[in-house]
Structure 1
Amino acid sequence: MTSSNSQHPKPEQLSYRDAGVNIDAGNLLVEKIKPFAQRTWRPEILAGIGGFGALFEVPQKYRNPVLVSGTDGVGTKLKVAFQFNQHDSIGIDLVAMSVNDILVQGAEPLFFLDYFACGSLNVDTATRVVQGIAAGCEQAGCALIGGETAEMPGMYPEGEYDLAGFAVGIVEKSSIINGSTISENDIILGIASNGAHANGFSLIRKIIEKHPVDLNAKLGNSTLIEAIMAPTRIYVKPVLELIRKLPVKGLAHITGGGLLENIPRILPTGMMVYIQQDSWEIPLLFHWLQQQGNVANEEMFRVFNCGIGMVLVVAPEHADEAMAVLHACGETVWRIGHIKQRHADEPAILIA
């Protein structure tokens, strides 16, 4: 034991901030994002941001409600956001990836939670990201009801962060869309994407790395970087409007796996998809990527949405009216193919 009259110097007094965590910055971020979140709130919210958990009442209009949940991130699109200081719309991507996924079962998104993790919290950057998340929630009609900001020194390089999102939606049990009624001669409609959305960015980054270009150069009506970073389109409101008016047999969100992998996921046994490649306008960005990277056609359709962000399957007698409803909602939509019976030697999808 050290005697009370020893002359040893006092040990350095350490704090959480000395360890790299700034609690005050976290509190400031919460205050900054509250107004954005509150713009997204719905009447069913009983308690939102600031508590240990958020409370949300099931809307009374549903008789036999089923909850539908989804979670996702934005992949390596984040690396491009870091490189070019493009933080304002990455939050829209985050919301879109989850709400578009639960939409395919006919679900109305109710609320959204985000997880933002970083090594050292930059309040301005985080505020820009959460503003984008709130904007995405407004587009989807769901509430930004809560989330988590994790500051973890040593876990991430300086200036980088990670994002994840979680959406919960609701659908009447009798109205769940699962593709089971899809049959021969049904029509496939494709709704236009807004570019690459948040998929295929590992390949995009590899193409840029191997073939350096000026990303501020013009590509059509935008610059290359604007085309690459265009936020994922959120299809919730127009598709829910369509579902209220007409029966929709199947929906597919065209994300990782592109057209080739995602459309077959909704097909019943014994059915296949025939897609007519020249039936829609493929955006300039995908032509540029294919040319720069010398990417094969099949690989393009397996990696990217190639201009189609959401696919719908409807009966032939409903196709024209469905297109009219989506056009009235501001969407660009094409009749891109139809359903056929599948024989043993045929693929689940043919793009010709």
Structure 2
Amino acid sequence: MKSFSESYKAAGVDVTAGYQAVELMKSHVARTTTPGVISGLGGFGGMFRPELAGMKEPVLVSGTDGVGTKLRLAFLMDQHNTIGVDCVAMCVNDVICGGAQPLFFLDYLAVGKNHPEKIEQIVAGVADGCVQSGCALVGGETAEMPGFYPEDEYDLAGFCVGMVDREKIIDGSRMRAGDVILGLGSSGVHSNGFSLVRKVFRLEESNIGRYVEELGKTLGEELLTPTKIYVKSILQLIKECDVKAVSHITGGGFYENIPRMMKNGLTARIEKSALPSLPVFHLLQSVGNIPEHDMYNTFNMGIGMCLVVSPEEADKAKTLLTAAGETVYVMGQVAEGTEGVVLC
């Protein structure tokens, strides 16, 4: 007998819509398949066999995150095919900070009402993010929760597992005073600070479709730009350079995230004049009258990732990263001190 419950549907949960959504997402999941995948959709757990050849002591590295209130933009614009990239990015960009190759990803999608075509768009974005980071989408969960979420709203979170040989873990322990700090350009605001963004731009008041001359696009188009994924560029770099530390600039901006990669007794001295000047951050600061400290303590300010290398390898690292498609900034230097980060 085919699975169907008229009583459950009357309570707001349509299981047949759930099956339809799964059918629609299968082609997107297939795009992310890597050699380690040994299970398909439909099982109770995603199965993955990692390649251990050449590894002395494999270490699993995990990360989990959501998209936060950036989701409100997707609701307001009724555009759902990029928000999944943000979800993947927030997880895999964390995992790569330890030098780990992301292996597989799972998502959790909770909806007020199951609209299969909308769910397909969301999962298509998740699949795009997995392809960009070279990891497989091995499963997930779509939960229809009427009465808990409004019908046209949802929440999205994800979970990633990566792997690195223990002797190759990047942890900042070999950092020295005089080392160079490189910054990789961001694609914009990424996925952090959106409660402040929404307040400053009053996005709930239909301002999202307003064309902004400084941005060269509408406010919504700028803000919904997906978070940049840096995994493949950094993985390639660590094969050819000694990368001593990596920091993902997410919530908390420079002041919270850069100290997380610093060794005790050392400080990151960041030259503000060496950083990119993205119009969206100037606009946020001027419209919201936000103090400079709060900007650097909330947003990425045009830098999505920071990396530490020796002075001898700085030029080589910059060349390799540029060849990989990154915009690279020599943004500072490691110095003796206890502040964690100092902006000059």
Q: Shorter-chain TM-score: which interval?
A: over 0.9
Equivalent position of 2:50 in the other structure = 58
CA distance in 2, matches of 1:150, 1:215: 31
SS of 1:282 mapped into structure 2: coil
Equivalent position of 1:250 in the other structure = 245
CA distance in 2, matches of 1:289, 1:136: 27
State the 1:177 CA deviation.
Answer: 0.4
State the 1:306 CA deviation.
Answer: 0.4
RMSD: 1.5
CA distance in 1, matches of 2:117, 2:99: 36
State the 1:75 CA deviation.
Answer: 0.6
* Contact kept? 2:105, 2:137, Cα under 8 Å: yes
Change in 2 beyond 3 A, CA 1:333/1:271: same
Equivalent position of 1:109 in the other structure = 102
Which residue identity lines up with residue 290 of structure 1 in the other structure?
Q
Greater CA radius of gyration, 1 or 2?
Answer: 1
Which residue identity lines up with residue 41 of structure 2 in the other structure?
I
Equivalent position of 1:274 in the other structure = 269
Query: Residues 224-243 of structure 1: matches in 2 within 5 Å?
Result: 224-243=219-238
Which residue identity lines up with residue 36 of structure 1 in the other structure?
H
CA deviation profile, 1:264-299 (whole Å, cap 9, x unmatched) = 011111101110001022210000000110001000
SS of 1:337 mapped into structure 2: strand
Count of aligned pairs between the two proteins: 337
- Return 5+ residue gaps in structure 1 as ranges: 1-12
CA distance in 2, matches of 1:14, 1:78: 31
1:217 aligns with 2:211: yes
Among 108, 122, 133, the alignment partner of 1:129 is 122
Among 63, 86, 99, the alignment partner of 1:70 is 63
Which residue identity lines up with residue 296 of structure 1 in the other structure?
P
1:120 aligns with 2:113: yes
Among 251, 255, 260, the alignment partner of 2:255 is 260
CA distance in 1, matches of 2:209, 2:11: 38
State the 1:211 CA deviation.
Answer: 11
SS of 1:177 mapped into structure 2: coil
CA distance in 2, matches of 1:25, 1:161: 16
Equivalent position of 2:149 in the other structure = 156
TM-score (structure 1 length as normaliser): 0.93
* Contact kept? 1:108, 1:240, Cα under 8 Å: yes
Query: Residues 20-99 of structure 1: matches in 2 within 5 Å?
Result: 20-61=12-53, 62-99=55-92
Change in 2 beyond 3 A, CA 1:233/1:158: same
Which residue identity lines up with residue 80 of structure 2 in the other structure?
H
Equivalent position of 1:205 in the other structure = 198
Which residue identity lines up with residue 284 of structure 1 in the other structure?
P
* Contact kept? 2:215, 2:222, Cα under 8 Å: no
Equivalent position of 2:187 in the other structure = 194
- Return 5+ residue gaps in structure 2 as ranges: none
CA distance in 1, matches of 2:37, 2:249: 31
Identity %: 48
Query: Residues 293-312 of structure 1: matches in 2 within 5 Å?
Result: 293-312=288-307
* Contact kept? 1:211, 1:292, Cα under 8 Å: no
